[in-house]
Amino acid sequence: MRTRPHKETWLKRPPRATVFRTLRPWLTDPDSLTARIRARCGTFAVRVLRQRLAVPHRDEATLLGLRRGEVAWLREVLLIADGVPVVFARSLLPRANVRGAWNLFHGMGARPLGAALFADPAISRRALTCACLDRRDARYHLASAAVAPMAMPPRVWARRSLFRLHGRALLVSEAFLPTILDLPE
């Protein structure tokens, strides 16, 4: 699927005029997304889609301080609440960060990354930003393919932030599927 080079705008806050009131807390809550979902469903699961070396998108590479074409460790998952996918998450970790500091990335399996990230006081989270992803963005298509045959709306709101440990970065992006709004507020 060819997507035009597109530079979506990542905002510090979701615009009131275009983001559902009930979606805003999901885009802005700085605590663990896993914990927030778990508190609103019966059974929670992580479906690991991909975990391998990959070339980040240009904006992701810039955030991670990587040169264009430089590979990083990629982890893509679906967060599942009561059997229904509610979030498509994509995390990127520069290769140099895997040794020591970020070994957690490889030991996680189907355990949620957040369980490790929010358990270590040495890990800090930078500010969240959010963007509306549509068919112009390759990540929209990754999420769409991940949830098929469940239909994807023309646009999904996503958020992302950098986690840092001993000066090394991990980029976590989370796209919210419409089903997130079926969870209690």
Ligand X SMILES: C=C(O[C@@H]1C=C(C(=O)O)C=C[C@H]1O)C(=O)O
144 vs 161, beta carbon nearer ligand X: 161
Q: What are phi and psi of 102, to 5 degrees?
A: -110, 30
CB of 154 to ligand X, least distance (A): 23
156-165 and 72-81 strand pairing: unpaired
Question: Considering only CA atoms, which of 42, 74, 46, 68 is closest in space to residue 182?
Answer: 42
Question: Across-strand partners of 170?
Answer: 163
Q: Which residues bind ligand X (CB under 6 A)?
A: 32-34, 46, 75, 77, 79, 87, 89, 91, 112-114, 117, 172, 174
Do the annotations mark residue 36 as ligand-binding?
no
Do the annotations mark residue 185 as ligand-binding?
no
CB of 169 to ligand X, least distance (A): 13
Residue nearest to ligand X (CB): 114
Do the annotations mark residue 60 as ligand-binding?
no
CB of 2 to ligand X, least distance (A): 27
CB of 114 to ligand X, least distance (A): 2
Beta strand extents in the chain (DSSP E only): 44-54, 72-81, 84-94, 123-125, 129-133, 156-165, 168-176
106 vs 136, beta carbon nearer ligand X: 106
Nearest-angstrom CA–CA distance, 56 and 60 = 6
Q: Residues at the annotated binding site for substrate?
A: 75, 113, 174
